[in-house]
Amino acid sequence: METPNISSSSFLWYFIRFLVLVCLILCSLETCFTLEESDVKSHLGLEYSHTVQVKSLLPATTCSPSTQGHDKKASVLKVVHKHGPCSHFNQSHKENAPTHTQILGQDQARVNSIHSRRNPKKAIDRRGQRQRDSTTVPALSGSTVGAGDYIVTVGLGTPKKQLSLTFDTGSDLTWTQCRPCIRPCYKQVDPIFDPSVSSSYANVSCNSVVCSQLKSGTGYAPACATSTCVYTTAYGDGSISVGFFAKETITLTSTDVFDGFLFGCGKINQGLFRGSAGLLGLGRDSISFVEQTAAKYGRFFSYCLPSTSSSTGFLSFGREKRGRASKGVKFTRLATLPQKEYSSLYGINLVGITVGGRKLPISISVFKTSGTIIDSGTVITRLPPQAYSALRAAFQQGMKSYPRAPAISILDTCYDFSSYETVNIPKIAISFKGGLTLDLDGTGIIYPVTASQACLAFAANKNDSDIAVFGNVQQLKLEVVYDVDKGKLGFASGGCL
């Protein structure tokens, strides 16, 4: 066999090509190892999912106050979950903490009460009277002022008495239990307020203009008892508060003191209030705290709800007292709801939902038909049935590698994470009119019952015409900014832990 005749020039040419090829390979390898993290995530499809530690979804047994959020020098209120270790309720009423089934059942009662505003004939209190139904906070309005409540502490009277109140953007009237109760007072952690020992307390007259404002704020016409204005407010589960409409000094901080604040001094209070002293109403009616303090705060407030019941958040009033996250706030316009029954609620224009990087094929008319409100007191976000079906299908597709778990109450899409330390959850983004897209944190997507039962934190309304509700699970860790004067609602990430 003949040996190929390769000239020295040809050999040199092949050798140079070989070196070039080696250099290209080495360069490519180096590039692979210096890829940005975002490029790697994109290649693996992880940029469209949250990697979440399962234990981070569950509350701890000890309090871990948030190190983020508002400036400590600002005049703000600390927000705690009523039944978490950061609350004094935890020691006094631990045995009364509701189960998840109760919380979700109460949440549905609250949403029913919101929907019943369009049909007051369906809302009946325990005495058989028709009601328009107010809403209440953390978990359910009075209709369940006790499911997933977030509370703040304020001072009432002179000298001031500290009271723990559930704060609620879905209610207008601020009220607390007052001694003496006409019927037995329900059990609360704080001492019950006694107006007879306050030098600044005064009842409101039946003939006063402010007495006539009660109907728009509570849904009930005021009554009269020996020339004193009497309020009534009732909730979807039959919980009620009835008492004297009065004026008193309310204190948030040493520099935030308001004289002549209108509130309800409750004499008959029954229902699922679970130990709180009453309610702080942050709705849009003239009797709400937001409206009564407008001269000082300019109808501007923000809050951050902690991601678990073992952490803390804040409630802040006034533009100059915004949280640290507010520099990154993005706004959408508050919506004017066509139904006058919802005029005191905060309407928003939801226009689309994205799951795992893909926008769901939901017609914008679906959201226009229902309308949407944001509510600090509703736990689980409610969507029109068409929108929820599309969301659920896309989420289930992204979670198909995880074992399913039984449904619980209103939550029908649950998973068993007990065998995992971390899980990958499809990202969900909510789009609002005006170009704002809100990327939900992992804690705003999953409602953890236990490690073996973690559920998609969305549910469907009964009908497509029922108003949609953006609930507080989806608001966790965000600073939610209400600029009511300018008709805007904003969100900023990293508000609290």
What are the tokens at 480? 């939610």
Residues 6+ apart with CB under 8 A from 44: none
Residues 6+ apart with CB under 8 A from 111: 378, 382, 461, 469
* Whole-number Å distance between alpha carbons of 222 and 139: 27
Helix spans in 246-321 (H): 289-292, 294-297
CB 492 within 8 A of CB 329: yes
* Whole-number Å distance between alpha carbons of 77 and 258: 15
Told to judge if 149 belongs to the known catalytic residues of this protein, a careful annotator would answer no
Radius of gyration of the chain (CA): 27
What are the tokens at 398? 């992204």
Residue 494 to residues 204, 303, 396, 435, 477: CA-CA distances in angstroms?
Answer: 43, 12, 28, 21, 6
Pick the catalytic residue: 125, 375, 441, 483?
Answer: 375
Residues 6+ apart with CB under 8 A from 81: 87, 138, 148, 149, 150, 151, 306, 308, 309
What are the tokens at 265? 């001094």
Of 292, 214, 210, 211, nearest to 258 by C-alpha is 292
Told to judge if 375 belongs to the known catalytic residues of this protein, a careful annotator would answer yes
Pick the catalytic residue: 125, 168, 172, 256?
Answer: 168
User: Which residues are tagged catalytic?
Assistant: 168, 375
